[in-house]
Chain A
Amino acid sequence: MLGNPLSTGEASMKVKTLILRAPGTNCDQETIEAFEEAGSRVEVKHINSLLKDPSILDEYHIFCIPGGFSYGDDLGAGKILACQLKYRLRKPIERIVSEGRIILGICNGFQALVKAGLLPGLSGLFSRQEATLALNEGGFFIDRWVYIRCEEVTRCKPLKDLAGAILHAPINHAEGRFIAPPDILDILEDDGYIVFRYVDPSGCISRGWNPNGSMNNVAGICNRDGNVIGLMPHPEKYIHPYTHPSWTRFDNILEDNCLRFFKTLVEYTYLHIL
């Protein structure tokens, strides 16, 4: 065993994370802080820099597309960013996936990965859109806290150490209702593509705790190799206890935050990708 590299500061010297900025991205600062707190070196690049020199992406172990409203979400949430990934950054992204490095999409990043055909990617990378994140069931933007459970049986090796964990995190989206055709949903269920589900506080799947009408309470999925991961909730917004609305009222909130999500990713990267 290598021990906990995060506690020694070793990982912070080695794991490199790139946070993408695009017009309308607005969660980049929280995401930078989350990865830094988790022990990674972090850099942020605007998409125009990547379009100018796509090989920049080869320098990082984790590529994270944070939340926001990229390009105004005009053509559908994440749609234009998805086109940038598919048409202009295809090769370096294919290299990331084939080399087993990690791509993480949070909220708008998740929407972009799904619409680019990177998630779930059953027919191959970028081949076709196989699922979607549609307008919430009620037709409104939702801003609230939810519970999500990291599934025990999943292909997502980078989050294996989080299996069974229940995270409390905020959601802030208008288009988060996960929909997949029945044949695709069956594969996602049977073959472990589902990484997170909306649950009640005790971890049970419940219609009442599904905030947006997502099929099978799906909150996050991964690709075949488990190294492209997307989720709608925002774990980066709860890495400090005091960002929880009830932090002054409950003792266990002090330890029970989403920093472990990022630590798990960074630690996996240190142990298995470097």
Chain B
Amino acid sequence: MQDTHRVWRVYVSYKQDTLDPVSMRIQWEIRDMDVKGVEKVKVIQGFRLDGDLSEDDVKLICEELLHDPIIQEYVYFLEGESNIRLDGWIIEVKYKPGVFDSLASSVLEASRIIGIDRLSHAETFTLYVLNGCLNYDKVELVARRCLANPIIHDYKILPPV
């Protein structure tokens, strides 16, 4: 066994060329807000898995619980060690501290069903990757009015690299 207590991050998104109704709906809503310049939206469901998990454990959790193999794909990596590059403006939306994260709770419960009891904590977040003719103010407006609920969510914005 090579692993000790570490934090893994998992990104789940629709496969390329697969219809993604969530991204489409967000694009409609942004258009409905009369914000111009957003050409493409990609939605990534993120998970933060904390525990004494081996890479095989993480892979099993991803395979069995976190993604739908027919329409989605996933990547996982140790927190702080990612080489993944997301092109565009990135908005990360996650629950404020203290807000119940039902999806994370289900990950914990379901991981025990598949025989993994070393997952001690899970959190979820959503990454929205926006492409187009955008500036910080526009992206902030989209984040505040469309992607996050300020009562329960925190968000942060990362400009394109």
Contact = CB atoms under 8 A, between A and B. Distances in A.
Interface string A124-139: 0000111110111111
A15 B52 CA distance: 49
A137 B19 contact: yes
B70 A75 contact: no
Interface in B48-96: 64-66, 68-71
A182 to B, nearest CB: 12
Interface stretch (B1-9, B108-116, B132-140): B108-116
Q: Is the interface of B mostly helix, strand, loop or mixed?
A: helix
Interface string B6-27: 0000000000000101101100
Interface residues of A, number: 28
Given A75-B106, A134-B70, A181-B70, A87 B114 contact: yes
B113 A134 contact: no
A83 B19 CA distance: 26
Contacts of A129: 68-70
Given A80-B106, A80-B113, A132 B68 contact: yes
B107 interface: yes
A88 interface: yes
B57 to A, nearest CB: 15
Given A83-B65, A134-B68, A88 B24 contact: no
Contacts of A132: 68-71
Contact of B103 (A74, A140, A179): A74
A213 interface: yes
A87 B102 contact: no
Contacts of B103: 74-75
A130 B65 CA distance: 15
A140 B24 CA distance: 11
Contact of A179 (B25, B70, B109, B114): B70
Nearest to A74: B106
Contact of A83 (B21, B22, B70, B113): B113
A44 B160 CA distance: 55
Interface in A58-76: 71-72, 74-76
Contacts, number: 64
Contacts of B22: 135, 139
Contacts of B102: 72, 74
Contact of A76 (B24, B68, B113, B115): B68
A180 interface: yes
A179 B19 CA distance: 11
Contacts of B105: 74
A179 B71 contact: yes
A181 B66 CA distance: 20
Contact of A213 (B19, B68, B69): B19
A72 B114 CA distance: 18
Nearest to A136: B21
A80 B103 CA distance: 11
B74 to A, nearest CB: 13
A246 B110 CA distance: 42
A268 to B, nearest CB: 31
Contact of B71 (A79, A128, A134, A138): A134
13 contacts: A72-B106, A74-B103, A75-B65, A80-B65, A83-B65, A83-B113, A87-B113, A129-B68, A134-B68, A137-B19, A139-B21, A140-B25, A179-B71
Given A74-B103, A83-B65, A129-B68, 12 more contacts: A75-B65, A75-B103, A75-B106, A79-B65, A80-B113, A83-B114, A87-B113, A128-B69, A137-B21, A139-B25, A179-B70, A213-B19
